Each structure stands twice: as C-alpha cells, then as structure tokens.
Amino acid sequence: MVLFSLVATHADIDLETVAQLSTGASELAASALAGSPAVAGAIVLSTCNRFEIYGEAPRQDDVDAARAALIAQLSGSTGLNEQLVSRSFNTRTGADVSRHLFAVSSGLDSAVVGEREIAGQVRRALITAQHEGTASSGLVRLFQAASKTAKDVGAQTALGARGLSVVSVALDLATEISEDPDWSTKKIVVFGTGAYAGATMSLLRERGCTDVSVYSSSGRAAGFVATRGGTALDGGTLLAAVAEADVMIGCSGADTRVEAAELAGVRAASPRPLIAIDLALTHDFDPAVGGLDGVELLTLESVRLAAPQEQAESLAQASSIVAGAASAFEQEREARSVDSAIVALRRHTMDVLDAEMERVRSRHGCTAAAEEVEFALRRMVKQLLHVPTVRARELAANGQQENYVAALEALYGITVEQPAANAADAECPVEHASPPAAEAARDTA
C-alpha cells in the first residue's frame, strides 16, 4: 500500500481558491472510494488556510489514477474547472507525506506558526473519516503518529508557549485599531458554534468580555452558550444584536453570509464604529462590508500578514522532532511492508514440510522415529528461515522491500498478496466523537 497526499495551502495559492476547493469536502472521500479502485482510503483535512487530501493506493502505479479520481470528483462537486483543481494541488508521496502532515499538526506550517488549534483539526479529520468508513489502516496510523508528534512538540519545546492562534492574532489586531481597547465594555456577536467559535469565546472571556451573543444558522446556539456563557440569538433577534454590536466575529463558514447592503441598512442608525472579524474560509461576511463607513474588516489574510514569527531556537527544536518522528514512521511502515512476504515464505516452507511429513506418516505410521524426524525438520526449517527473515527487515529499512518480494516470486513462485487496507485493523486511541459531534466539528474554519 502506498500513501500519498494532495496539498493546497495559503503558501501556494490564494485563500479564495482554498475556500472554493473546500466546498466539495464533505462527500469527497466516500465518493472517491466508491468510484475508483485506485483509492483504498482517504482523509480530508480542511482548515481556515488549507485543503489537503490524504490517500492510500494499493500500489505505486495506482497513485496517478487515484489522484485523477480525486481531482475529477472534486471538480464535479465544486463546479471548478478540472485543470484549475489539478493545478491547485501539490502531490506528495513516500516520506514527504508524513513529514508534511507531522509539520502541519505541530503548527510549523500554519499562518500563525506554532498555533495549537491545528492539532485538534487533524484529530477531528481522522475521527470524521473513521465515522464515514474512509480511513484505511495506513492512514489511521499516519494520523495517530501526527497527533503524537504534535504532543511531543508541545511538551518538549517552547513553540506555541505564547498561546498564539489565528483567533488571538485577530483579536490583537482588533485591539490595535479600536478606539477603545477595553474589551470589557464591548458588545460582541459571534457567528458559529464550532471549534473556532469555542476558542473565540475562551479568548473573549480572558479579555474581560461579558456581553457576547452567539448566532448559528444550524440552530445550535442555545446548546453552545449553555456551556460557554453568552446569549443565544435566532433569526428574530440577530439583526438587533448586530445593530448594537462593537465587534462581530465570523467563525461558521455557513452557506449564508452577512451582505454589505444588509449590514448598511441594519447599522444606518448606529453611531458606533464596528469591527468585523471574518475567520471563516468561505466568508461569513461579504468582503464589501470593509468599504462601509464606520466598518473595519479583518480577514484571514490580515491575520497571516500580522502573525509574529516564533523564535528560531524553538522552530529548530520542533523541526528536529518532526523530522525524527517522520523518519521513525517511515522505517516502521517499510518494515510492515515485508510482513506479508515473510508470512508467505513461512507458509510456503511449512506447507512443504507438512506435505513431506504426511508422506512419512503414511509410509511408517506415527512412530517415535517419525516424531523425531518431524522435530528435526521443523528445527531445521526454523533455522533456514532466520536469515531470510532478518534480511527482509534489513531490505525494508533501506526501502528495498520490493527486491525481496521479487526474489520470492522468482525463486519459489510465491505471489505475495498485500492485506486489504481496512481501518478496523488499526486501533485508534483517539476518543471517537458521535456523528453529531463530528458534524459540529466541521462547522469550523
């Protein structure tokens, strides 16, 4: 089995294109698995500044076909030109897949370097794929290792010690441009009830905010504020809250958004300036609201440009941990890849031994001499298999496992069949969310 990934991030393409790609995320993995035998597993990681697809193919020769199937599926679900979709992704295979995901999960590839929110998004991507039945065993192990690496980086380095995140940087920017930097006096409206909205509520409390209202187009606001504080809004109370707000923060990425003309009408009688912070990749607020009188618009691009750089020493330590973890993962994966070959050789050899012993018993009966012959033969076979088994591990560690498989086929006529990529074969230590919880997790940037 071969791991691969298709990566579209803020570092290579504009956020608008990332947002357009992400609109096809929900059904992509399941549809690709159903539509192409080249896709043995798939997990989608969609965040505020990246859209990445991690896949597993039966063989290296299947990767191109798997990529084409995913591109075609995404083009059909988003309505984007297939060539545009293809150009938006960088394709990674082999060790590059684990190195990239481990760096992403550890916050090294984020717009705000060192932010810790991405680690949770990586975990939720795995949970969602497991609920949908698209996570192959190889992908489960990959994402488990990525989560462990993120924990190691957090525990062993000072990266992220300042608690920087997309949300915190956005609130810092809002403080800088606000006429009154005292957050305890502000009226705030938050759109969304997902993970980003939860992080926003926590940071607002830290800044002394007491007047926070929450709106969710899915109707989850009441349950959300019951555990986090604040006032739940619905369609009947939303406009009045927006009319009096000092800050509104978009975290939902819902299909509906606040249009500039609508906001202008709602705010027409309000003398208060408004700061609109849009953290949703697909935009909760019409970009034109930034042109309205008395409205300042902050976006993910604003956050990316304002994000401070972490200290070089912490980055170097974190990068070293990521590199070591990726190397260890690949070595383990390569060792696993010859397990089927070793099993096949042992089975072939033992079948020959069993057939020979059957002939001995049929000729001489189950005598003490026959038992001694069988004992001696089994000990000899065990010794003979020792060197080929050790050699298999050595070749796998050097990435030459295919040579071993080819040798078995040439010398013994043994055809090595790889096991099916079944997610049930890999236990996941991540606590499984219920399907509604997984749906709520996707209600984030």
- The residues carrying an active-site annotation are 48
Q: Are 275 and 241 in contact (CB under 8 A)?
A: no
For residues 375 and 188, give the distance between their C-alpha atoms in angstroms, rounded to a whole number: 80
Beta-bridge partners for 91: 6
Backbone angles phi, psi at 283, to 5 degrees: 70, 110
For residues 264 and 245, give the distance between their C-alpha atoms in angstroms, rounded to a whole number: 13
CA distances from 45 to 71, 178, 421 (A): 15, 34, 20
In the numeric block, which tokens belong to residue 319? Answer: 């990068």
3-state secondary structure of 5: strand
Angle, nearest 10°, between helix axes 117-132 and 195-206?
A: 150
252: nearest Cα among 336, 203, 175, 195: 195
Q: What is the dihedral of CA 324, 326, 331, 334, to 10 degrees?
A: -170
For residues 373 and 356, give the distance between their C-alpha atoms in angstroms, rounded to a whole number: 11
Q: Are 257 and 286 in contact (CB under 8 A)?
A: yes
Backbone angles phi, psi at 190, to 5 degrees: -105, 130
Strand stretches in 74-186, DSSP E: 90-93
In the numeric block, which tokens belong to residue 227? Answer: 């555990």
